[in-house]
Structure 1
Amino acid sequence: MTVTLPGLEDSTEQRLEWGNDVVRVVVAHGPHTAPRLVALWHTGEARPDVDGQRRSALPVLEVAVLGDGRSGTSGKRHVDGAAAQRMRLTGTEQDTDEGGVRHLRLCLADPESGLRAVVHYEVAVGIPVLRTWAELTSDRELVLDHVTTGVVAGLGHAARWEHELAVWEAANPWSGEFRWRRSTLAERGLYDVGMVRFGQVGSKNRISLTSTGAWSTSEHLAMGLVEDTRTGRLLAWQVETSGAWHAELGDRYDDVYLAVMGPTAHEHHWAGHLDATTRFTSVPVSLAVVPGAADGPEATLDAVGAALTAHRRRTRRQHPDHEALPVVYNDFLNALMSDPTTERELPLIEAAADLGAEYYVIDAGWYDDEQGGWWDSVGQWEPSTTRFPDGGLGGIVDRIRAHGMQPGLWLEPEVVGVRSPVARTLPDAAFFQRHGHRVTEWGRHQLDLRHTAAREHLDTVIDRLVSTFGLAYLKLDHNIDIGPGTDAGTGTAPGTGLLEHGRAFLAWASAVMDRHPGLVIEACAAGGSRTDPASGSVFPVQSVTDQQDYRATPPIAAAAPLALPPEQTGVWASVDGTMDREPLAFSLVTALLARVHLTGRVDTLDAAQRAVVREALAAYRAIRSAVGRSVPVWPLGLPGWRDPWIVQGARDGEHLYLAVWRRGGQDDGAPDTLRVPLPGRVADEAVEVLYPRWGGESVTVADDGRVLELKLPALTSARLLRVRVGS
């Protein structure tokens, strides 16, 4: 299609429209025009004003080269790179693979700098998600300051965008993860300052989120949403890296753009070095777009959750654990707390097996001969010679297996304590370094998994432990944030080292699972401090929190499925003999629509308390296949940290599973009866209480099936419901 666009440098441009049944893009390009993403939309909404959005459209590849910088504006924003504006389309390739996934490759070149790129777009049938990344090469030496294909403009077209666009972002504090908030652009400090009518680009300001260091989500989730309040439309983004990343919203030519990327020079001490022999692949970014639902914002949020869940299931490494969803008992939280011994483990093993656990994981401390002083001496990962008399650690593992459970161990592979012999036997190049010094954090060094010696050391450890003890499960933790990265002793940019190490770590973990088929590896990093899409695409299960208070866990568990598929979300269910049956059920319900990580002093439960736990695990085994197929819903919206009522749902076809928690105080003024709307769905009169089944609650269907009215029997109580629903 050829169009005439008055006022542009070249009045003739080509427009390429591409996509699938639910998501479409338009790319403009020409002999004097860098290929630009003019529009991204869902086929369920009105076709965008492509002509009107052309002025603010940004290049499909935003890249800046050191010594070249930006052109036409300046500031901290990561758009208007001079090299990006010089890129021209040299060819396109399209194909569809056997799975129905469509691929578009845009071949670009900048003759002035010698930079070349292939921009990849990828969409799957029925999923309104565009995944994009780029491969960059050069015929001469270049250094990149930033690079991304995760850029889209036109978000505020024809809007009073200060107040009519809102940004959703999730703080992710330790033990209080997934804390979403919504703000208008004005509330976040981005205003239309009126300078475009004087020939300027815009305000030069931005709303930004940045994560530094090895904990990719210790401050913010690596995702967010942009809402158009005029229509309810939501655009969700996720950046697919396990390290540093950056995202920003800015105004440009009376419109608003979103740019999402991996590490940058400005924020992360990163540099992308290219020459005739090297290739750089940018951090992938995925963009999900859904139209505003007629049934309201909760239904629109549900549509985003469904889209992201489908996309993550499609793009992850496949593992039998995704379907099996075994019940795991872990001896750490509110139980042994890194102090295992034979005397302490044996009662827990007997109790966990009696309750119905299928895996038993010995958490930290199994290697400790220093009575708790092991923090800065780890690295060899040899079993303690003093903690497990009469058979050693192997004897404990044999007892686990004799009780019908599969054994697992905790490990923190990326760190080596400063007092560990490994810190002396491995070369400096196997560790993170900066300015000629090994990086040290809290008494530990960080292994650099790009180095052969580091990988060989960990392969030896893993193969020895798996073969010696017949392990079926490993929990890999990471409890230090090592800063901007490593210069590897060569003076290269530390952020480059961090990105490459993160990719090497995920490749190493994948190779471990290739070598040991069926081995389940749980990812953990100080609770949910590395709950990012890249990790979720590799590890079959992810720890999401270290929260020890069962009353504080529901808002974490209920919001987690917006960041991870439910079958990969490991949620603690902590129980002990001090708890009455309603608190026990409350703690257990918290994990029943995710992955049950049973914990606590289960050996202190009496017969009646054990029956409460057994009933919960039996209910879970009956629905876990549905959990693994389900998509998340939030009838009350995403939960607040102190909400007295929380509802999380999982939809599996005609069945809707609802976990409902009441956690009110005596004087909080919260009602004792809750109305739960069912946006876009109509409930059958028959509502099943799946757990607990001792009664005391009241559940009725109201408003012609569009609302449930629920009353729970105690201030701290919870129920798992199953509702048959239709559209």
Structure 2
Amino acid sequence: MAVAAEQTVLWSHDVLGLHAVADSAGAVRLGASGQDWDRLAPLVEVTVTGHGRTWSGERFIDTTVGGRLAHQGHRTVVDGDLRTTTIRLADPVTGLAAEIALRTSPGAGFLRSQVRLVNEGSAPLRLESVSSLALGGLVDTGGSPAGGPTLHWADNDWLAECRWRQAAFRDQVVSLNRSAHGHEGRGAFERSSQGSWSTGRHLPLAALTDPAGRAWLWQIESSAGWRYETGEREGAAYVALFGPDDAHHQWHETLTPGQEFTTVPAVLVGATGGLDAAFGELTSYRRRTRRPHPDHTALPVIYNDYMNTLMGDPTTDRLMPLIAAAASAGAEVFVVDAGWYDDDAQGWWDAVGAWEASSSRFPGGIQEVLDAIARHGMTPGLWLEPEVVGVRSPLARTLPPEAFFRRGGVRVTEHGRHHLDLRHPAARAHLDQVVDRIVGDWGVGYLKLDYNVNIGAGTENGTESAGAGLLGHHRAHLDWLGSLLDRYPGLVLENCASGGLRMDHAQLAVTQVQSTSDQQDPARYPPIAAAAATAVTPEQAAVWAYPQPHFTPDEIAFTLTGALQGRVHLSGFLDRMSPEQSALVRSAVSAYKTLRPEIPAGLPFWPLGLPAWEDTWLASGLRGPATAATWLTVWRRAPAPGAARTPDDSTRTLPIPHLRGTHVRPRVLYPTASDATATWNPADSRLTVSLPRPGTAVLLNLTGDH
């Protein structure tokens, strides 16, 4: 359907098929090109106290101010390969002005959006929610589940990250008979964060797919509160993406005349090849928008002493043999995890904060250990949890009260810790001194930055809301991380929050490595490892590989194989292994070093679909810019207790459509002694893989030519 004569196109995106149009009164809406005006969404939705919404319900669209915002002008700026169009709107009643920056690159399938609000009126305005991106007319919703779109979203939890689910759109957003009322529904499908673990419940991304294979995938970039909703608007799906809001995050922001507020960024990608193609676009976008760092291509093998090994109880005597064994296995970074500072008879959990090395654990000083790591050709690394101070730490008394999170005038305490507010100069100066000592004086080149408490809604500094305080801290935290890399350009920062509980792109655009989980059961890790590339680029996704001396060869290969398409977080008592076991570990590291030059440009795909938590067969792959470069990890797990058993479950056939027309020669890269087999059928582009035993996995290289 063409744009009506009284409407003007202000902006368009040919690849995504989107446009922003203004009507004769100046109202601006955004959505799929060719759709009716009523299906499109107001360009900015903003809830202002005293103005609210025009149609009350659970939705955060149909806001009164959003409906009044009128076009004031627009401009486009080109910076390298990025093209940003900024559309300016204003509300004639309140004087609120909005500038929405729509950023993309010619030929790319992404749209990044951010909104800046300015109070140009004469009275204060209290904001309760602001959309970062809202658009409509994406997919016809259809009258039945079979003919309509499918929703895809990811639940997230400690030890159970990246659990993707799907349902028919109509199972979540029911079809209503509007003939009597003439109104849209009041509800929508929504997901949101809670507290300071941005991914403690769900990932801040989701997707819609239609039966024709079109996929829309979105991501919100915030560690300080986010919410998305999708629902029906005039027979088509709309999507609205938000940072923190009052209802879910205790966020509100009062703008006095002249004051401004900028939302967190959000991005939408679209593709015609289903979810795999959409995640490929999102992966490329993430690479484009993060801070450049040499680690993104070097991808050194990381040994960490924690998981299933020292578990926060390191000493010089325990570390020295592990250092030698890790170096022998091919590790290039050695991280001393939690406990290196523990000299407290009552335990370290609620006494942390000073980050001084323990003299009892390291009688010769921690430098002796760090020097040993360097002598073995590895970069020394240390664990740090910078944002917290234990309630028994002297710093809890010496730092000013304003340097900590407070609510209702009371310092916040959670699980024996207080939380620093990095907007305060004393908090930041303290952490700068810690890092300058550890990195500048001790020569540490890798910091694992953990975050093990959910501090709740945030902090109230004066009259600000708790959610606004959390957002302020979040932005100060990102700035602090960037300042560390400015001072120490070679330093590698790992983002960890009890595994993957703060696994958002705001963090990952600054840090280099992401811990994907704290999962200690090798049989439970495969669905997390297989789906990790949905949340983070493969070259940043650290997966634990913790082989143990009591493991069988199958078990050693199984835990190692799952890490080989991302970042290897090697662990385990390698020093106690037999020569045969050590050779199996070295072989995995060697296979990884063969693969890793392909990882920084590789795009993820899932031949069996995104994994479910109890799936017995899982598969995830990487394909290079040239389709001939394809790598595939396949797992076969034992069935879950009580699951139906089939007579023979040793074979699976995997469709790999991007290799259609290619003569492929499957090759087992790891484990080299595997009895797995793989055969390729070029006629229907399907790979048949046989894993004779449950509890086994294999890394395949699919090479070929057209």
> Normalising by structure 1, what TM-score?
0.93
> C-alpha separation between the residues in 2 aligned to 1:272 and 1:358?
47
5 Å-filtered alignment, 1:123-134, equals 123-134=104-115
Q: Does 1:515 align with 2:498?
A: no
Q: For 1:549-576, what per-residue CA distance to the aligned partner results, in whole angstroms no more than 9, with x for missing partners?
A: 1121111011010111100001100111
Q: Contact 2:404/2:421 (CA < 8 Å) preserved in 1? A: yes
Q: Does 1:185 align with 2:169?
A: yes
Q: Does 1:633 align with 2:584?
A: no
How far residue 703 of structure 1 moved from its aligned partner, in angstroms, is 5.0
Q: Contact 2:162/2:532 (CA < 8 Å) preserved in 1? A: yes
> C-alpha separation between the residues in 1 aligned to 2:132 and 2:395?
41
Match of 1:8 in 2: none
Q: Secondary structure at the match of 1:187?
A: helix
Match of 2:247 in 1: 266
Match of 1:568 in 2: 540
Amino acid at match of 2:665: A
**Distance 1:312-1:726 versus aligned 2 partners, 3 A rule:** farther
Q: Does 1:55 align with 2:32?
A: no
Match of 2:202 in 1: 220
> C-alpha separation between the residues in 2 aligned to 1:600 and 1:371?
27
Q: Secondary structure at the match of 1:55?
A: helix
Match of 2:369 in 1: 396
Q: Contact 2:140/2:149 (CA < 8 Å) preserved in 1? A: no
Q: Does 1:479 align with 2:472?
A: no
How far residue 275 of structure 1 moved from its aligned partner, in angstroms, is 2.6
Deviates more, 1:590-599 or 1:682-691: 682-691
Amino acid at match of 1:172: N
Match of 1:346 in 2: 320
How far residue 384 of structure 1 moved from its aligned partner, in angstroms, is 0.5
Q: Contact 2:141/2:237 (CA < 8 Å) preserved in 1? A: no
**Distance 1:253-1:673 versus aligned 2 partners, 3 A rule:** closer
Q: Secondary structure at the match of 1:643?
A: coil
5 Å-filtered alignment, 1:292-303, equals 293=273, 300-303=274-277
5 Å-filtered alignment, 1:456-605, equals 456-488=429-461, 490-605=462-577
> C-alpha separation between the residues in 1 aligned to 2:440 and 2:132?
43
Q: In the comparison of the two structures, how many residue pairs are matched?
A: 696
Q: Secondary structure at the match of 1:504?
A: helix
How far residue 491 of structure 1 moved from its aligned partner, in angstroms, is 3.0
Q: Contact 1:692/1:720 (CA < 8 Å) preserved in 2? A: yes
Amino acid at match of 1:366: W
Amino acid at match of 1:280: F
Q: Secondary structure at the match of 2:206?
A: strand
Amino acid at match of 2:51: D
Match of 2:235 in 1: 254
Q: Does 1:698 align with 2:677?
A: yes
> C-alpha separation between the residues in 2 aligned to 1:372 and 1:125?
59
Match of 1:43 in 2: none
**Distance 1:158-1:409 versus aligned 2 partners, 3 A rule:** closer
Q: Does 1:86 align with 2:68?
A: yes
Amino acid at match of 1:552: R
How far residue 187 of structure 1 moved from its aligned partner, in angstroms, is 2.2
How far residue 463 of structure 1 moved from its aligned partner, in angstroms, is 0.7
Q: Does 1:684 align with 2:669?
A: no
Q: Contact 1:339/1:372 (CA < 8 Å) preserved in 2? A: no
Q: Contact 1:581/1:609 (CA < 8 Å) preserved in 2? A: yes
Q: Secondary structure at the match of 2:207?
A: strand
**Distance 1:483-1:158 versus aligned 2 partners, 3 A rule:** closer
Q: For 1:624-680, what per-residue CA distance to the aligned partner results, in whole angstroms no more than 9, with x for missing partners?
A: 010111000101111111111111100012211011111125983261112121123
Q: For 1:491-549, what per-residue CA distance to the aligned partner results, in whole angstroms no more than 9, with x for missing partners?
A: 32101111111111111111111111100000000111001111111111110100001
> C-alpha separation between the residues in 2 aligned to 1:687 and 1:705?
16
Q: Does 1:672 align with 2:650?
A: yes
Q: Contact 1:330/1:362 (CA < 8 Å) preserved in 2? A: yes
Q: Contact 2:141/2:169 (CA < 8 Å) preserved in 1? A: no
Amino acid at match of 1:19: H
Q: Does 1:420 align with 2:393?
A: yes
> C-alpha separation between the residues in 2 aligned to 1:269 and 1:203?
25
Q: Contact 1:162/1:191 (CA < 8 Å) preserved in 2? A: no
How far residue 702 of structure 1 moved from its aligned partner, in angstroms, is 2.2
How far residue 161 of structure 1 moved from its aligned partner, in angstroms, is 6.3
How far residue 685 of structure 1 moved from its aligned partner, in angstroms, is 4.1
Q: Secondary structure at the match of 1:149?
A: strand
**Distance 1:516-1:129 versus aligned 2 partners, 3 A rule:** same
> C-alpha separation between the residues in 1 aligned to 2:240 and 2:435?
39
How far residue 726 of structure 1 moved from its aligned partner, in angstroms, is 6.0
Q: Contact 1:2/1:14 (CA < 8 Å) preserved in 2? A: no
Q: Secondary structure at the match of 1:198?
A: coil
How far residue 185 of structure 1 moved from its aligned partner, in angstroms, is 2.8
> C-alpha separation between the residues in 2 aligned to 1:277 and 1:421?
42
**Distance 1:161-1:310 versus aligned 2 partners, 3 A rule:** farther
Amino acid at match of 2:404: F
Q: Contact 2:10/2:74 (CA < 8 Å) preserved in 1? A: no
Q: Contact 1:435/1:491 (CA < 8 Å) preserved in 2? A: no
> C-alpha separation between the residues in 2 aligned to 1:498 and 1:539?
19
Q: For 1:582-636, what per-residue CA distance to the aligned partner results, in whole angstroms no more than 9, with x for missing partners?
A: 2111111100000001011111111111111111111111110101110001011
Q: Where does the alignment leave 5 or more consecutive residues of structure 1 unmatched? A: 6-11, 40-47, 294-299
Match of 1:718 in 2: 697
Match of 1:146 in 2: 129
Q: Contact 1:2/1:15 (CA < 8 Å) preserved in 2? A: no
> C-alpha separation between the residues in 1 aligned to 2:301 and 2:4?
62
Q: Contact 2:315/2:361 (CA < 8 Å) preserved in 1? A: yes
Q: Secondary structure at the match of 1:280?
A: strand
> C-alpha separation between the residues in 2 aligned to 1:668 and 1:344?
44
> C-alpha separation between the residues in 1 aligned to 2:433 and 2:342?
19
Match of 1:19 in 2: 13
278, 296, 311: which is aligned to 1:322? Answer: 296
Q: Contact 2:209/2:275 (CA < 8 Å) preserved in 1? A: no
**Distance 1:393-1:372 versus aligned 2 partners, 3 A rule:** farther
Q: Secondary structure at the match of 1:382?
A: coil
> C-alpha separation between the residues in 1 aligned to 2:464 and 2:76?
37
**Distance 1:518-1:35 versus aligned 2 partners, 3 A rule:** same
Q: Secondary structure at the match of 2:610?
A: coil
Deviates more, 1:173-182 or 1:677-686: 677-686
Q: Contact 1:60/1:149 (CA < 8 Å) preserved in 2? A: no
> C-alpha separation between the residues in 1 aligned to 2:534 and 2:464?
36
> C-alpha separation between the residues in 2 aligned to 1:508 and 1:345?
31
Q: Secondary structure at the match of 1:440?
A: coil
Match of 1:616 in 2: 588
Q: For 1:376-396, what per-residue CA distance to the aligned partner results, in whole angstroms no more than 9, with x for missing partners?
A: 11110100111111x211111
**Distance 1:542-1:152 versus aligned 2 partners, 3 A rule:** same
**Distance 1:578-1:493 versus aligned 2 partners, 3 A rule:** same
76, 79, 82: which is aligned to 1:97? Answer: 79
5 Å-filtered alignment, 1:357-436, equals 357-370=331-344, 373-389=347-363, 391-436=364-409
> C-alpha separation between the residues in 2 aligned to 1:717 and 1:222?
32
Amino acid at match of 2:207: L
Q: Contact 2:84/2:102 (CA < 8 Å) preserved in 1? A: yes
> C-alpha separation between the residues in 1 aligned to 2:114 and 2:333?
38
> C-alpha separation between the residues in 1 aligned to 2:319 and 2:345?
16
Match of 1:236 in 2: 217
Amino acid at match of 1:679: P
Task: Please give the root-mean-square deviation of Cα atoms over the aligned residues, in Å.
Answer: 1.8
How far residue 705 of structure 1 moved from its aligned partner, in angstroms, is 6.2
> C-alpha separation between the residues in 2 aligned to 1:633 and 1:455?
41
Q: Contact 1:684/1:723 (CA < 8 Å) preserved in 2? A: no
Q: For 1:215-251, what per-residue CA distance to the aligned partner results, in whole angstroms no more than 9, with x for missing partners?
A: 000110010001223x222111100111211111222
How far residue 3 of structure 1 moved from its aligned partner, in angstroms, is 5.9
Q: Where does the alignment leave 5 or more consecutive residues of structure 2 unmatched? A: none
Match of 1:275 in 2: 256
> C-alpha separation between the residues in 2 aligned to 1:4 and 1:466?
62
